[in-house]
Structure 1
């Protein structure tokens, strides 16, 4: 039970990270530079945590002799982060959320069923399939898609992709979600090999920050931090995205070997949706206040039911 609560708390921090990184992007101009700064802050945070908790840098001897996929967690994280940047203007906010989550849940169940990446094996039972369906249905309700359908609102923005191109981007959204679940399993196994989840997260972030540095240099992004409004200081909280991202990667690496990749993904998604609704409800970190609707609350309860079905049955 404590592991589930920890997963929810880790997931709840992700919407805060998104808000912080979005605000940081306004000040630095480039989404890649904002991501690089966020990853750099997270890397420093994990470096300090590793030194304090383990007394030194990770010993990579055993990991060096392991499979090559142990090192791809950070790269997958960058692909997922960059992928969302391209998905949003083409699919809109609703599909940019739902499609990757669908990919995450499906891949998490497959990883558990087949024991890929040396993950704890958990056969795909009817209960797990039902729980995954409830979770996805809950996500649809929590992000307001059901509200939009009932009001007959447009859920794809004007100017979004159409035709075959639209379906290719939808497929890409599912694939990006599958990459995210794969990152969870890979970092979890790396933590097992190293004997430390925080060391695994540090390596993942180090690979990510190196990749993003190359992207920033290749795109020739201008290094700057400017005020969005004259005579108004940038908020202090725009720098906390890296810290929250570090907590997220550590949480995934810690939980995956304990409760399995599939359940880790679902519990953290539950926390993400709950955190998003809280941000909207109270207007946290400069967000516009948007009261939670009844259908969104029911969607969140549906997600809780999905996790409970998988955990208890």
Structure 2
């Protein structure tokens, strides 16, 4: 029960982080710079929590020779997944940019559980878990896709060429979602190796921060806009997206070690979609207000049924 509450809680918090970071991007202009700020804030926050927990910030040199190289790639996976979503939006639109990574996350999470990849605990596929995954994906379709498609049906215009060209981007989106599940599995294993979810989360965000600093330097060639939120008197809460992201990864590390990657991904996903609908319903954090409709509630209920099946079996 505690794992389910934590998983849903971090999913809801991730929805809030998305709304917060979208506001930060309005001030920095560059989504890459906004992501860099978020990662750096998270790294500083996790450094403080790691010290308070009694874990060291530094790593033993023996770890680099005794552990597989992939154990350090969690931060890279997170950055690639985030950057890919930024690139997908103008290619696929909001609906497919949401759904394709979700599909990749659920499928890869279940595969990691079934085969025990990245030294994860094994949870073999059974008919109940397969049906649970089907219910989760059906719930996602009802909660995310149907309403958006219906609202845009009359204005949606596309060409045959665009339809053909979208398929490579759809696969890229699925791949980005798979990387997010891989990140969760890697960070969970890193937490076990370091015997500290705090230190593992810090290492992941530190690597991600360095990566984004390099990306912004190469792409934007300037860090000047980092001052814009202060110059324009942005609300104080635009800076806390990184703290929420840090807590998300920290609890993810803990949950993967307790219930496995697949269950962690699915439970957090339910919380994320539920949180996103709440943010839209009330227009929280200056987001666009969009009322929840009955079919979206039905989608959440179906998703919850799928989560319960996966959790129990």
CA distance in 2, matches of 1:149, 1:7: 29
Query: In structure 2, do the counterparts of structure 1 residues 202 and 156 end up closer, same or farther at CA, with 3 Å as the change threshold?
Result: farther
Q: Does 1:299 align with 2:299?
A: yes
Whether the 8 Å CA contact 2:56–2:199 is kept in 1: the answer is no
CA distance in 2, matches of 1:47, 1:161: 49
Q: What is the aligned partner in structure 2 of residue 188 from structure 1?
A: 188
CA distance in 1, matches of 2:135, 2:257: 24
Give the deviation of 1:147 after TM superposition: 2.8
Alignment of 1:115-126 (within 5 A): 115-126=116-127
CA distance in 1, matches of 2:155, 2:300: 20
Q: What is the aligned partner in structure 2 of residue 280 from structure 1?
A: 280
CA distance in 2, matches of 1:10, 1:155: 35
Whether the 8 Å CA contact 1:91–1:156 is kept in 2: the answer is no
Whether the 8 Å CA contact 2:136–2:307 is kept in 1: the answer is yes
Query: In structure 2, do the counterparts of structure 1 residues 27 and 241 end up closer, same or farther at CA, with 3 Å as the change threshold?
Result: same
Whether the 8 Å CA contact 1:46–1:198 is kept in 2: the answer is yes
Task: Give 1:226's match in structure 2, choosing from 228, 231, 243.
Answer: 228
**RMSD across aligned C-alpha pairs, in angstroms?**
2.1
CA distance in 1, matches of 2:239, 2:148: 33
Q: What is the aligned partner in structure 1 of residue 78 from structure 2?
A: 77
CA distance in 2, matches of 1:217, 1:159: 37
Whether the 8 Å CA contact 1:91–1:157 is kept in 2: the answer is no
Q: What TM-score, normalized by structure 2, do the two folds share?
A: 0.93
Give the deviation of 1:227 after TM superposition: 5.8
Query: In structure 2, do the counterparts of structure 1 residues 301 and 189 end up closer, same or farther at CA, with 3 Å as the change threshold?
Result: same
- Offset from partner CA, 1:155-194 (integer Å, 9 cap, x none): 9676998143210000001010000100000000000000
Give the deviation of 1:63 after TM superposition: 3.2
Q: What is the aligned partner in structure 2 of residue 238 from structure 1?
A: 238
Whether the 8 Å CA contact 2:13–2:272 is kept in 1: the answer is yes
Q: What is the aligned partner in structure 1 of residue 136 from structure 2?
A: 135
CA distance in 2, matches of 1:227, 1:37: 11
Q: What is the aligned partner in structure 1 of residue 44 from structure 2?
A: 44
Alignment of 1:41-190 (within 5 A): 41-61=41-61, 63-64=63-64, 65-143=66-144, 145-149=145-149, 153=153, 162-190=162-190
CA distance in 2, matches of 1:241, 1:271: 17
* Range with bigger deviation, 36-45 or 150-159: 150-159
Q: Secondary structure at the match of 1:56?
A: coil
CA distance in 1, matches of 2:160, 2:90: 6
Query: In structure 2, do the counterparts of structure 1 residues 190 and 241 end up closer, same or farther at CA, with 3 Å as the change threshold?
Result: same
**Matched residues, number:** 310
Long gaps (5+) in structure 1: none
- Offset from partner CA, 1:230-264 (integer Å, 9 cap, x none): 9x731111111100110111121111111010000
Query: In structure 2, do the counterparts of structure 1 residues 4 and 255 end up closer, same or farther at CA, with 3 Å as the change threshold?
Result: same
CA distance in 2, matches of 1:156, 1:252: 38
Give the deviation of 1:221 after TM superposition: 3.5
Q: Does 1:271 align with 2:276?
A: no
Q: What is the aligned partner in structure 2 of residue 26 from structure 1?
A: 26
User: Could you list the runs of 4 or more consecutive aligned residues of structure 1 that deviate by over 4 angstroms after TM superposition?
Assistant: 148-152, 154-161
> Which structure is higher in helix share?
2
Give the deviation of 1:25 after TM superposition: 1.1
Whether the 8 Å CA contact 1:17–1:244 is kept in 2: the answer is yes
